[in-house]
Chain A
Amino acid sequence: MGRFFQSDLFYNLVPLLVTAALIFVVVRARRQPLWAEAYRRIGRNKIALTALGVICLYGFVALLDSIGSTDPKTQTRRTLLDRVFEKEKEKTYSAPGARMTTGEPIPSPLKAPGTHLLGTDGVGDDVLYRTLKGCRTAFIIGGLTSLIATPLALCLGLLAGYFGRRTDDAVQYTYTVLSSVPSILLLIALILVLGRGLLQICLALGITRWVGLCRLTRGETLKHRDRDYVRAARALGVSNARILARHILPNLLPVVIISVTLGFSGLILSEAILSYLGVGVGAEIGSWGNMIDAARDELARDPVIWWNLTSAATALFVLVLAFNIFGDALRDAVDPRLRSS
Chain B
Amino acid sequence: MLRYVLRRILYAVPILVGVALLTFVLFYASASPQSLARRNLSTRNPTQEQIQQWLKDHGYDKPLSVQFKNHVTGLLVFRFGKSDATGEPIWNRIKQGAGPSGLVASLVFLTGLTAAISFAVAVAYFRGTYVDYFGTFLCVLLMSIVFIVYVIGLQYLLGKILKYGPIAGFQTGIAAWKFVLLPVVIGVLAGLGSETRLFRTFLLDEINQDYVRTARAKGVGERAVLLRHVLKNALIPIITSTVAAIPALILGSLVLENFFGIPGLGSYLIDAINSQDFAVVRAMVYLGSILYIVGLILTDIAYALVDPRVRLE
- Would A181 and B270 be within 8 Å (CB), given that A321-B140, A321-B144, A324-B143 are in contact? no
Q: Known interface pairs A182-B246, A273-B146, A295-B152. Does A177 touch B140 (Cβ–Cβ under 8 Å)?
A: no
Shortest Cβ distance from residue A312 to the other chain B in the assembled complex, whole angstroms: 9
- Kindly identify, within residues 132 to 183 of chain B, every residue whose CB is under 8 Å from any CB belonging to chain A: 136, 140-141, 143-149, 152-153, 156, 160
Q: Output the least CB separation between B257 and chain A (Å).
A: 12
- Is A184's CB under 8 angstroms from B247's CB? yes
Give the Cβ gap from A23 to chain B, nearest Cβ, in Å.
Answer: 26
Q: How far is the CB of B155 from chain A (nearest CB, A)?
A: 8
* A126 at interface, CB cutoff 8 A: no
Contact status of A273 and B247, CB under 8 A, knowing A173-B14, A193-B27: no
CB-CB under 8 A from B18, the residues of chain A are: 173, 176-177, 180
Binds B, one of A9-17, A59-67, A233-241, A274-282: A274-282
Determine the main DSSP class of A at the interface with B: helix
Q: Would you call B149 and A176 a contact (CB within 8 A)?
A: no
Within 8 A of B (CB), among A163-184: 173, 176-178, 180-184
> What is the 8 Å Cβ interface bit string for chain A, positions 255-277, against chain B (1 contact, 0 not)?
00000000001000100110011
Q: In the docked arrangement, what's the CA distance between A185 and B282, Å? A: 9
B292 within 8 A of A: yes
Q: Mark B289-308, 1 if CB is under 8 A from A, else 0.
A: 10111000000000000000
Contacting residues of chain B (31-46) with chain A, CB-CB under 8 angstroms: 31
Is A276 in contact with B255, judged by CB distance below 8 angstroms? yes
Surface stretch bound by A, among B58-66, B67-75, B213-221, B272-280: B272-280
Q: Given A180-B292, A180-B293, A313-B145 in contact, is the A296-B250 Cβ separation under 8 Å? A: no
Residue of A nearest to B282 (CB): A189
Docked-complex contact A186 and B285, CB < 8 angstroms: yes
Of listed A192, A278, A324, residue having the most chain B CB within 10 A: A192
The reply to whether the CB of B15 lies closer than 8 angstroms to some CB of chain A is yes
| A272 lies within 8 A of B204 (CB) | no
Interface pair B146/A185, CB less than 8 Å apart: no
- Residue on B nearest A184 in the bound complex, by CB: B251
Task: Give the number of chain B interface residues (Cβ < 8 Å).
Answer: 51
CA distance A316 to B149 in the complex (A): 10
A131 to B250, CA, bound (A): 29
What residues on B are CB-neighbors of A188 within 8 Å?
Answer: 269, 273, 281, 285
**Pairwise interchain contact B15-A176, C-beta atoms closer than 8 A:** yes
Q: Is B250 a contact partner of A184 (Cβ separation < 8 A)?
A: yes
Q: In the complex, which residues of chain B have a beta carbon less than 8 angstroms from the beta carbon of A325?
A: 140
**Cross-chain contact A292 with B285 (CB below 8 angstroms):** no
Judged by a CB distance under 8 angstroms, whether B288 is at the interface is yes
Docked-complex contact A316 and B146, CB < 8 angstroms? yes
Are A273 and B15 in touch, CB under 8 angstroms? no
In the complex, which of the residues B152, B274, B282 has the most CB atoms of chain A within 10 Å of its own CB atom? B152
CB contact under 8 A between A181 and B19, given known A192-B276, A309-B152, A341-B204 = yes
CB-based contact B254/A277 at 8 Å: yes
- Taking a contact as CB atoms under 8 Å apart, the answer to whether B146 and A324 are in contact is no
- 4 extra interchain contacts, Cβ-Cβ under 8 A, other than A177-B19, A189-B27? A177-B18, A181-B289, A321-B140, A324-B143
B-binding residues in A (CB < 8 A):
173, 176-178, 180-186, 188-190, 192-193, 265, 269, 272-273, 276-279, 292-293, 295-296, 299-300, 309, 313, 316-317, 320-321, 324-325, 328, 340-341
Can you report 17 residue pairs joining A to B where beta carbons are below 8 Å apart?
A: A181-B288, A181-B289, A185-B247, A185-B285, A189-B23, A189-B285, A193-B27, A193-B31, A292-B146, A292-B149, A317-B149, A320-B144, A321-B140, A321-B144, A324-B144, A325-B140, A341-B127
The list of the 9 closest CB pairs from A to B, nearest first, reads A177-B18, A182-B247, A321-B144, A320-B144, A185-B288, A182-B288, A313-B149, A272-B146, A184-B251
